[in-house]
Structure 1
Amino acid sequence: MTAETENDTEQLRELITRARVVLWDFDGPICRLFAGHKAERVAIDLVDWLEGRGLHGLLTDDERQSLDPHVVLRAVDRRHPGSDLVAELEERLTQEELRATSSAMPTAYADPLIRTWTAIGSRLAIATNNSPRVVRTYLDGRGLLPCFTPHVYGRTQNLHQLKPDPHFLRQALNAMGAAPAAALMIGDTPSDLVAANRAGVPFLGYARNERKAKVLREAGAESVVQSLGPVLEMLRAE
């Protein structure tokens, strides 16, 4: 074991053992929501829906071609904040996410890690840019909802609250009466890292491949794992 690996292991152990509250991002660390129901197709459908209403000019070429439904949603909200159009678009995205739950792929080791953390007395919450209805539907199907209830915080029609804004993290901490330093955020994107930093919450990056790990490290994440297996092992050993 190299000194660097030893340092990484010690840093990971400290993050895990210090956490009394664990805030999870949903899509990525807990499951791949769009594993069988492609997010790219959802984004294209949202763009088509807007264009079918004569609203082609609402999006730039880059936004139309982003293949990310959240990019489309945020773009419309920037131009028409709080409008009925945004509300309808957000509901359409929620319905697509709900459809995706039936083919979502659980992240390896996430289920036992969630159960283990709950069993040793840590409190868990979700802080996600997905719809809370979607999160509850998925967790209920896996028998995991009691591990989080009632602390599921996610997208509403107030889209300015989406990460990287720390709103959902602060909402969770306030509801649980937890200090930021006693919490841990597990996320898989730079926006999760930024939200955690703004909320003063230590961050553990989850990346399912080296490309995603590189993106997180370049964004400033100090602790990144490519599998939740070592986290589970460490927790059980403690």
Structure 2
Amino acid sequence: MTAETENLREVIKRARVVLFDFDGPICRLFAGHSAEDVAKDLVAWLEGQGLRGLLSEEERVHPDPHVVLRVVNKRHPHSDLVVELEELLTQHELKAVPSAWPTPFADPLIRTWTAVGVRLAVATNNSPRVVARYLESRDLTECFAPNVYGRTRNLDHLKPHPHCLNRALNALGAAPSAALMIGDTPSDFLAAREAGVPFLGYARNATKEKELRKAGAEVIVGSLEPVLQVLRGEL
């Protein structure tokens, strides 16, 4: 057995609670509904409000809508503008749900973990309304209910802030050391580290893996299949 497999088995064996990031480990939310187009729409909406100067040129062309949201929140914290922009992003996320791609092996992994008595939660920067709709579409609601912790009106609490992880741990009555966070971005890793939660990185490509390792993540899988195999005693 390789050291990598042994490390994977160890983090899985210890976990009594698993916190999933949503977009990445559970599905690719914008697989059929470009995140870059969503970011452009948020920028266009701001320009329609006469606020083109609010963003730098680099920010106006950034492909991640969450970056646009963070920038506006930083410059106009807790304003009606931020509330409206967040709702616009939520509507785009909701439209993306029907064309989202389930992450390979995610559905059986979630059901298997539930079947062996491990409690699950979602800790995400996406809207909890979006997560709930997706889980319902996959008949996975009962595996998580009611533990879905997503974006709130307080955007200062987006990961890498550990707020959503701490909410999940408190609701489940779980010690951080008894939990496991599965995420695919450096912000997921940093939030887990801040919360004291062991981390399992999911990297669907070499770029994702490089970003996670640069952030400090050590246990990383390129597929959820070996995680499922460990749970089933096949690895």
TM-score by length of 1: 0.97
CA distance in 2 between partners of 1:126 and 1:50 (Å): 30
4+ residue runs of structure 1 moved beyond 3 angstroms? Answer: none
Unmatched 5+ residue regions in structure 1? none
CA distance in 1 between partners of 2:34 and 2:122 (Å): 22
Measured after TM superposition, the shift of residue 62 of structure 1 is: 1.4
Is 1:226 the equivalent of 2:222? yes
Partner of 1:174: 170
- SS of structure 1 residue aligned to 2:129: helix
Among 55, 66, 75, the alignment partner of 2:71 is 75
Measured after TM superposition, the shift of residue 52 of structure 1 is: 1.0
Partner of 1:192: 188
Partner of 1:160: 156
Measured after TM superposition, the shift of residue 157 of structure 1 is: 1.2
Is 1:15 the equivalent of 2:11? yes
Paired positions, count = 234
Is 1:148 the equivalent of 2:144? yes
CA distance in 2 between partners of 1:210 and 1:69 (Å): 23
* Aligned-residue CA RMSD (Å): 0.8
CA distance in 2 between partners of 1:169 and 1:54 (Å): 37
TM-score by length of 2: 0.98
Is 1:66 the equivalent of 2:33? no
Is 1:41 the equivalent of 2:32? no
Measured after TM superposition, the shift of residue 43 of structure 1 is: 0.3
Q: Percent identity?
A: 71
CA distance in 2 between partners of 1:140 and 1:187 (Å): 21
- SS of structure 2 residue aligned to 1:237: coil
Measured after TM superposition, the shift of residue 36 of structure 1 is: 0.2
CA distance in 2 between partners of 1:234 and 1:210 (Å): 23
Measured after TM superposition, the shift of residue 178 of structure 1 is: 0.1
Unmatched 5+ residue regions in structure 2? none
CA distance in 1 between partners of 2:85 and 2:149 (Å): 20
